[in-house]
Every structure is written in C-alpha cells, then in structure tokens.
A and B are shown apart, each in its own frame.
Chain A
Amino acid sequence: MLKGEKTATLKLRLLHTYNRPLSFATWYYPFFLAAVTAGFWALPSRLRLWFVIGASLFFYAFWDVRFCALLIAAAASDYLCSNAYEGPPPAWARVFSVGMAPAAWLALAGLVKPVAPSHIAFAAAGALGFCILFFAASRLDAQSRRRWLVLLGVCVNLGILAFFKYANWFSEGLQDLLQHFGASADGVVLDILLPVGLSFHTFQSIAYIVDVSQGRCKAEPSFWRVLCMITFFPQLVAGPIERAARMLPQLRFQSRFDWRVLAWGLHLLLIGYVLKVFVADNCAVVADYYFKTVHEGGSLGMGWALAATGAYAAQIYGDFVGYSYIARGSATLLGVELTRNFELPLLSRSPGEFWRRWHISLSTWIRDYLFLPLSLSLSYRNQDPASGKPIVDDRLIVSSCLIATMLLAGLWHGADWHYVAFGGFHGILQVLWIVVPGAALLSSAPGVLPIVLSRALTFALVCIAWILFRSESMGDAMQVLATLGGVSGPGAAVPRGVLLWLALHAVPLLLLIFAVRSDAEEADIAKRPGAVLAVCYFLMFVMLATSEAGRAQFIYFQF
C-alpha cells in the first residue's frame, strides 16, 4: 500500500517538474547552466555559436516549443531586412529558405506538441507574404527600398507584438462595445496565449533594424548570429534589451576561458539568487496575500496597505534586479557581458533619476527610439519660420512627449489600464519635476537632509506607481490608494509576525544597498575587504539555502 502510494507521489512530482518552464527560478536551471557552460568552453570557438543557439532554443522550448517559431520569424525578418538595407538583397533561394523557416519550425513542432493545421497554414501564408513584400521592396530604387525595408522589418516585429500581446485586449474592448450597442459579440473574443518574454525580444529586434538604418551598427551577414542574438537564453525572457552593436561582436565567441570570468559570473549569480529567492519570494508572501484579498473584495485597512506596499517594493526590486543579476551571471559564464540594467534605483532623488537607474535598457530604448525622435521632430516643427523662435514653450513639447512615451511604456508592460496608469503616473511625475522649480531644487540640493528627503519622496511616489502596477485592475488600485489615504478607516491591525517576517527579508536588502551606496550596484560588494566579502558570502549562502526555491515565477516574464 505504502509502496504504491510512494510511486504515485513520485509520478506526480515528476509530472509537475517537467510541466514547468526552464526558468532561472527552477531548481534545474543551475544544472542546465552548468552543462551549457561546460559544453561551451569545451567546444572549439567555431562550434560555440550553434551550441548556444541550440541551448537557447531548448531553453525557450521548455515553455512552448511552438513559440520558438516567433523567435525565428523575428530573426529572419531582421536578417533579411538589415542586409538588404545595406547592400544587394540576398538570392531568392536564401530569402525563401530563411523566410519560410518559422513555418517549417512550427510544422516540426507538431511532432512534439499539438499544432493545428490552420496555424501552420497561417504561419506559412504570413511567411510567404513577408517574402513577397520583401521582394517587392527590394526592387524599388535605393532610397525607397531602404525606407520600405525598415518599415517592413519594424512592422513584422510590431505585428507579432500587437497580435500576441494586445489582440485579446482589443477584442475584449470590441466585445464590450458591441454588447453595449446590443449587437452580437460571438466570435469576437480571441484566446491568444502570450509567449513569454515577447516584449523584450521584439524591442531588441526593432532596435537592431533601426540601428542599422541609422548607421549605429553594421548589418550582420550571418543569419545564425542574428538568430543567436535574438534567442540568447540569458536575456531572452526578460531582458536586458541589448543593442546589436554591443551584442553581435560578443557572439563571435572568440574569447578564451578565464577563471576570473567564472568567478565574476558566479558572484553575480549568487547575488541574483539571494535577491530573488530570499528577498522577493519571501516578501511576496505578504504582498500576494494583500493584493489577492483586495481583488476578492476584502478590505484590510491602512496598516496592511502600507505593509503590503513595502512588501511589494521589496519583492519587485528583488525579483527584477535579482533576475538581471542571474541573466548577467549566466551570460558572463559564456563570456558575454550584458548591459547593467539597474544602478541602485532606490537611491534615486527624482522620478527622472529613478528611470535612469531602473530597467535602464528599457528606459534608454524608450528614450532613443520613442522620446528623442518624437520630441526632436516636434521641436523642429515648433520653430516659427519667420522669427526662428519657438511657437510654444519647449517645455510643453518635452512634457507632452514625456507623458506620451511613458504611457506607451506603461502599455508595453501589459494590455491593461492599470499598466497605462502606471506609465502615465510616472510621466506626470517627471513633468512635475520639470515644471515645479522646488522639486528639481530639492533633488539637486546638497546636504544630508535634502538627500534623505528627496530619496524618501521619490521612493514614496514610486511605491504609489507600483501599486498601480501590481493591482489586478484599476478598481483594485484605487481601493488600495484610498485605503492608504485613510478613506476606508484603520481596519485590521497587521500581525506583529507579518512585520517581523517582512523585516527579516527586506532589511538585508537595505543593508546591502547601504553598503554599496557609493558604488554602482549591489555586486560592488566585491570591492569591500575580503573578510567582509567572506562573511557576506556565508550569510548569503545561508539565506539562499534556507529559503524555499522556485516558489514564484519572475514578475517580468509575463511581459
């Protein structure tokens, strides 16, 4: 009896293990990474590219092997459009073989997972359509050809993003509209699964095409290297959003094994896992409870709202910063240096500075590919031809562009109004710091008091934005904010144990930030004396080992 039950339980556990994606938060990722690292350095450099592509597709296929076709589609489009932009278009056979590769992958994926024939036909039609448009654009004169190829490359990526990420949202809106007018809404709602990390790799693809068109980098002549850049597993699912000029040269994998690379990579990995497993996942216990209760209609009072907001601040910080360290550590083990995505954002003294320190690869992407083109274009048109003076105040142009780009940044996070509100709120904050003289003055004034005050104010405002971000809906967010504002009364007291739990898991993060406050990031703890570092390692390892690993998925994987 007991033996049979043991077998059944083990079967269930195995099933559970292999139905989970190969994310950084799983217990088997370190084994995967160790195997890939060992294989990578054991191989001659000419084979490493294919090895990394294989490992990356394997990594992504753990989520869903079918969605690898999207990565291949993005890489194919980037490769063909960028090369045709710079020189003569590739031969038609090459265009068709690369262009039809996503459909071929999807058909092969049907051997592993069910794929509807209509989906394969749809993918093949899409790929064929792309090839035809590509040939049509290639036959135009040089200037038109370049303009249409860039447009085609960007549209393919935006099309994928729009279809998989926003089609559900728009169809639900359309359904509401139709029902409002009494029309039948049957068949309007789509049920499209969002591929993990879609927003990240499409932004990276768009940046590559635009960079080639603006001469910031050369078109890569190897399709495989472009594919490797798009699929590179350490940064595939949640960034950092890398620039091709920085990534492509590193993907030649010419470097020789250096034990110092290994040491630094492991250092980054340890810090990343401590932030994720110890700080984020344990603080999530409190934040999840509160926001889930609010979503289910419960009310817990101001104390709980404050505790949960603090818990979520620690959670999202540990989660995303931790993820970025793990991504950088993983890439470092393969001799690739990824962008530093965070620079102690909790020490920011203004909302603008916060975005220069938080999710840097996204904020610089938005700055370079949205804000600057938009604001420069509008500023150019803002000149009075006769006098050469601005028609309207330049600050109005900048503020409008800031709010517009931050609204889009909010929408990038997800197709929901509370994400739009999150972006809009940050946009308004940045505008306030431009138009309100006192705010900018406080953020730049020297002295301990202004520094502490401006950091506290920025943190409080960022926390309000995180409430908008974390809530399940705008209604939930408004309720939490109303509770924090004292509208719903004091409510139930927060148990002392909950506060102790939060302190236990958030204070080490604060201590770490305090210890490296004069440096760039948490990993700079390595600059402290050896004895301090050894004690830190010891404590970090104990914190990591005594926490329940893999309790929760990374927050940013959903984007």
Chain B
Amino acid sequence: MDLDRAPLAPKIAAAAVFAAVALVTLELIARFGYHESPADRNAFGYSRDTSLSVRDSVVSISSAASRRLWPQRYPAAAPAGVRRIAVIGDSAARGPSLERSVSEALRRALRSCYGIEAEVWNLSSPGYGSRRKAVIALRALEFRPDLIVYNAGVSTEYEDSREWERYMEYHSWHPRHWVDQLPFLGRVKLSKVERLYWEWLPEDVRNASLENPLAARIAAIASKSNSSYWTPLMLPNLDGTADEVLRSGARLVILVRSHFEFGTGQIDDSGLDDAIERRYASRPGIAVLSERALLSPHVGTTRMFADSSHWTDAGKDVIARGVADTVAKLFGVEVSCR
C-alpha cells in the first residue's frame, strides 16, 4: 500500500465500523418499525395473501404491495340470502372509485333487475393480467364466492409479464437482489427507482440505457397490444383460473375485454371473444360475455368509452346490465329484468 497511507488504516477501520453500526441500526429499526415487509412490497402483485386479511370474522380488503384494491370490508361468511360475487380485472373493472366501479353497478343491477341481493367484491387492480388475476382468484376462492366475474383481455399481459420478471428476479438467489431484500436499504433503493428513476426520467431516456436482457426481450418480441402474441400466453392462465373456480363449486363469467378506436368509432377485440367463446362454450358453470357485443349497439348514440379501454359510467351500466343478465341465468333466476 502507499506507505504514507498506513497510519490512516485505524481511522478507516473505525469509521467503517461506525458506518456499519449505523446501517445495521437502521436495518433493525426498519425491520421492526414497518408493518409491511419488503418481501410483500416487492411481491409485484404476486403475493397471494397481501391485501386480503381476516380479523374478527371480517374480511378487510386494502391497497398494499403493488395490489391497488379499493378498501372494502365484508363478513367472512356471506349472510344468509346474500350472494357473494368477486369481480377480478384490471383498471377498467377497478373503476375511478368503488362507487363508480362496474362491481357496484353490477350489485345495483342485480338488485334492481332480478331482486338478487349480492355483495360484489371489487378485486381488480390496475395493470393486472392473467397471471396476477390467477393469484388473486385463488385467494378470493378461500372466501367461498358463488360466482367470479373475470375480465379477460390481453392489453395488460405485457405489464403482467414485466412484473413477473421482476418478481422472479427479486425472489431468485441472485446476490444482485440481496440489497433489495433488506428492510432499510431495500426501501431506499425501491424509493429511488420509483420516485426518481421512473418519475424524473422520460421513457425514451430510460429505454436508451436499458441493458436488462429480460426487459429488452419482452420489448422486442411484442408490443403491449399485440394480441396474436399475448393471447396464447394468456389463455393457459385463464384455463387454470377457470379450473380452480369450477373446482371450488363457484361459477365463472368471463367478460372479454375490447378496445375502442376513437378515429373509426369501432370496438374491436381482435377475435378474442370468439376464441374464448369456442374454448369454454361446452363447459357448464362458465359463461362468456363479449364486451364488444354488449357495447357496440350503444356506441353510435351514447359515449361508452372514456378512452380506448376504460368505460364511461354509461358504459359501465351497460356492462353491468349484461353481466347481471348472465349471472341471473347462472343462478337460475327466471324473472326477467324489470
């Protein structure tokens, strides 16, 4: 070593020990001071138990760990005469608020049209695709719903895959993620990524320096809306969810997503509704509804879409009415809508 630096070694060692003690102290404070564990924080929506907790026979649904659900509370066991329905989807089904969501519209439609009393759980979170819907569906089935409304589409599969890669990375043995798993440094790093990297730098600047081969692979192989790529990846996950739902004794309504072209005024789902209809037509307990079919008759007269994929309140009411009709049939309610 530089001979004149030798006397500095004791000072270096003491300062390093002091800094290490400070870091360990902060790690311990973070470990015991935060309710949310970093593992949940980095679950990227793939944690099965996050957001749904049971205490004193009440199910509390909350927004946590990349699962942005509306806060809701329901009795653990559905009251007598009340049907339990869970709506699982992405930002469209989640709605701008719980009151203005399709699940609330469905609850109202079931009551007003068919006299069916139901608690309709809104278990939809933005960006959720078939993998994360499968995880949340499994959790929802633990609360014995009578029916699941599953909003199926491919527009969020891209996001789902990206988050899956992150989840896999985070939970791998890779030493690169050891820091991420620490309570204090992991939080600081995540905050830096989310609050600074993602918010300060424009997307094209971030992309220019992307070296992550997995992200690049996903970006290279498909665009977000490339249904011919994403549909074959989405359907096996939907199959798995459908099997689990039927196995639990519940019924399943698959509402097939579409998107709206403002320029042409057309609603399109690239044939996804037909593909899903063919796949599940013969399976009892499953009904398939096409959003395109439900909304197309109204597009000329009323505005159904707020943007290319999110419904207006009017659109939501049409969807809710259509779903309510199907739900009533599955429940064997013969009374037609008043």
Which residues on A are within 8 Å of B, measured CB to CB? 1-2, 5-6, 9-10, 12-13, 16-17, 27-28, 31, 259-261, 263-267, 284-286, 288-289, 292-293, 332, 337, 340, 495-498, 500-501, 504, 523, 526-527, 530-531, 533-538, 541-542, 545-547, 549-552
Binds A, one of B12-20, B91-99, B257-265, B305-313: B12-20
CB distance from A325 to the nearest CB of B (A): 13
**B73 neighbours in A (Cβ, 8 Å):** none
**B22 neighbours in A (Cβ, 8 Å):** 534, 538
Q: What separation, in Å, do the CA atoms of A285 and B15 have in the docked complex?
A: 32
- Residue of B at shortest CB range from A536? B15
Extra 10 A-B pairs, beta carbons < 8 Å, given A10-B168, A260-B6, A526-B11: A9-B214, A259-B9, A264-B9, A284-B209, A289-B209, A526-B5, A534-B22, A536-B15, A542-B23, A546-B179
**A542 neighbours in B (Cβ, 8 Å):** 23, 185, 188
**B189 neighbours in A (Cβ, 8 Å):** 545-546
A6-B168, A545-B185 are contacts. A527–B8 as well, Cβ < 8 Å? yes
One digit per residue, 1 when the CB lies within 8 angstroms of any chain A CB and 0 when it does not, for chain B 178-217 equals 0100000100110010001101111011101101011000
**B131 neighbours in A (Cβ, 8 Å):** 2
Within 8 Å of chain A (Cβ to Cβ): is B165? yes
Q: Are the CB atoms of A526 and B8 closer together than 8 Å?
A: yes
A497-B202, A498-B200 are contacts. A288–B1 as well, Cβ < 8 Å? no
Q: Are the CB atoms of A266 and B200 closer together than 8 Å?
A: no
Q: What separation, in Å, do the CA atoms of A263 and B165 have in the docked complex?
A: 38
- Picked from B10, B13, B168, B179, the residue with its CB within 8 Å of the CB of A9 is B168
One digit per residue, 1 when the CB lies within 8 angstroms of any chain A CB and 0 when it does not, for chain B 149-193 equals 000000000000000110011001011100100000100110010
Q: Are the CB atoms of A288 and B209 closer together than 8 Å?
A: yes
The 10 closest A-B CB pairs, nearest first, are A497-B200, A260-B9, A537-B19, A289-B208, A533-B15, A534-B18, A534-B15, A546-B189, A538-B19, A263-B9
Within 8 Å of chain A (Cβ to Cβ): is B2? yes
- Residue of B at shortest CB range from A501? B200
CB distance from A316 to the nearest CB of B (A): 15
A6-B168, A263-B13, A497-B202 are contacts. A549–B1 as well, Cβ < 8 Å? no
Within 8 Å of chain A (Cβ to Cβ): is B240? yes
Q: Are the CB atoms of B14 and A530 closer together than 8 Å?
A: yes
**B208 neighbours in A (Cβ, 8 Å):** 285, 288-289, 292-293
**B175 neighbours in A (Cβ, 8 Å):** 27-28, 31
**A260 neighbours in B (Cβ, 8 Å):** 1, 6, 9-10
Q: Are the CB atoms of B205 and A286 closer together than 8 Å?
A: yes
- Residue of B at shortest CB range from A262? B9
**A259 neighbours in B (Cβ, 8 Å):** 9, 13
Q: What separation, in Å, do the CA atoms of A546 and B205 have in the docked complex?
A: 20
**B75 neighbours in A (Cβ, 8 Å):** none
**A263 neighbours in B (Cβ, 8 Å):** 9, 12-13, 16
Q: What separation, in Å, do the CA atoms of A523 and B197 have in the docked complex?
A: 29
One digit per residue, 1 when the CB lies within 8 angstroms of any chain A CB and 0 when it does not, for chain B 114-141 equals 0000000000000000010000000000
Q: Are the CB atoms of B209 and A526 closer together than 8 Å?
A: no
**B2 neighbours in A (Cβ, 8 Å):** 264, 337, 340
- Mark out the residues of chain B between 200 and 246 whose CB falls within 8 Å of any chain A CB in the assembled complex: 200-202, 204-206, 208-209, 211, 213-214, 236-237, 240
Q: Are the CB atoms of A533 and B206 closer together than 8 Å?
A: no
Q: What separation, in Å, do the CA atoms of A549 and B175 have in the docked complex?
A: 11
Q: Are the CB atoms of B202 and A498 closer together than 8 Å?
A: yes
**B202 neighbours in A (Cβ, 8 Å):** 495, 497-498
- Picked from B1, B176, B237, the residue with its CB within 8 Å of the CB of A27 is B176
**A534 neighbours in B (Cβ, 8 Å):** 14-16, 18-19, 22
Which residues on B are within 8 Å of A, measured CB to CB? 1-2, 5-6, 8-16, 18-19, 22-23, 131, 164-165, 168-169, 172, 174-176, 179, 185, 188-189, 192, 196-197, 199-202, 204-206, 208-209, 211, 213-214, 236-237, 240
Q: Are the CB atoms of B1 and A265 closer together than 8 Å?
A: yes
Q: What separation, in Å, do the CA atoms of A161 and B199 have in the docked complex?
A: 46
**B12 neighbours in A (Cβ, 8 Å):** 263-264, 266-267, 526, 533
Q: Mind listing 27 A-B residue pairs with CB under 8 Å?
A: A9-B168, A10-B168, A16-B213, A31-B175, A264-B2, A285-B209, A288-B208, A292-B208, A337-B2, A495-B202, A497-B199, A497-B201, A501-B201, A526-B11, A527-B8, A531-B15, A533-B12, A533-B15, A534-B16, A538-B22, A538-B23, A542-B188, A545-B179, A545-B189, A546-B189, A552-B209, A552-B211
Q: What separation, in Å, do the CA atoms of A2 and B132 have in the docked complex?
A: 11
Q: What separation, in Å, do the CA atoms of A16 and B19 have in the docked complex?
A: 34
**A1 neighbours in B (Cβ, 8 Å):** 236-237, 240
- Picked from A332, A504, A533, the residue with its CB within 8 Å of the CB of B1 is A332
**B169 neighbours in A (Cβ, 8 Å):** 13
CB distance from B183 to the nearest CB of A (A): 13
- Residue of A at shortest CB range from B9? A260
CB distance from B227 to the nearest CB of A (A): 20
- Residue of A at shortest CB range from B11? A530
**B204 neighbours in A (Cβ, 8 Å):** 289
Q: What separation, in Å, do the CA atoms of A549 and B164 have in the docked complex?
A: 21
**A536 neighbours in B (Cβ, 8 Å):** 15
Q: Are the CB atoms of A264 and B200 closer together than 8 Å?
A: no
**A265 neighbours in B (Cβ, 8 Å):** 1
CB distance from B46 to the nearest CB of A (A): 9
A1-B237, A6-B168 are contacts. A546–B188 as well, Cβ < 8 Å? yes
CB distance from B271 to the nearest CB of A (A): 23
- Residue of A at shortest CB range from B211? A551
CB distance from B8 to the nearest CB of A (A): 5
**B15 neighbours in A (Cβ, 8 Å):** 530-531, 533-534, 536-537
**B192 neighbours in A (Cβ, 8 Å):** 546-547
Q: What separation, in Å, do the CA atoms of A340 and B4 have in the docked complex?
A: 13
Q: What separation, in Å, do the CA atoms of A546 and B199 have in the docked complex?
A: 16
Q: What separation, in Å, do the CA atoms of A239 and B15 have in the docked complex?
A: 30
CB distance from B178 to the nearest CB of A (A): 9
- Residue of A at shortest CB range from B189? A546
- Residue of B at shortest CB range from A260? B9
Q: What separation, in Å, do the CA atoms of A504 and B201 have in the docked complex?
A: 12
Q: What separation, in Å, do the CA atoms of A538 and B12 have in the docked complex?
A: 12
**B201 neighbours in A (Cβ, 8 Å):** 285, 495, 497-498, 501
Q: What separation, in Å, do the CA atoms of A10 and B12 have in the docked complex?
A: 39
Q: What separation, in Å, do the CA atoms of A288 and B199 have in the docked complex?
A: 19
CB distance from B91 to the nearest CB of A (A): 23
**B179 neighbours in A (Cβ, 8 Å):** 545-546
**B8 neighbours in A (Cβ, 8 Å):** 264, 267, 526-527
CB distance from A142 to the nearest CB of B (A): 40
Q: What separation, in Å, do the CA atoms of A533 and B15 have in the docked complex?
A: 6
CB distance from A16 to the nearest CB of B (A): 5
Q: What separation, in Å, do the CA atoms of A435 and B5 have in the docked complex?
A: 40
- Residue of A at shortest CB range from B240? A1
**A332 neighbours in B (Cβ, 8 Å):** 1
Q: What separation, in Å, do the CA atoms of A263 and B1 have in the docked complex?
A: 10
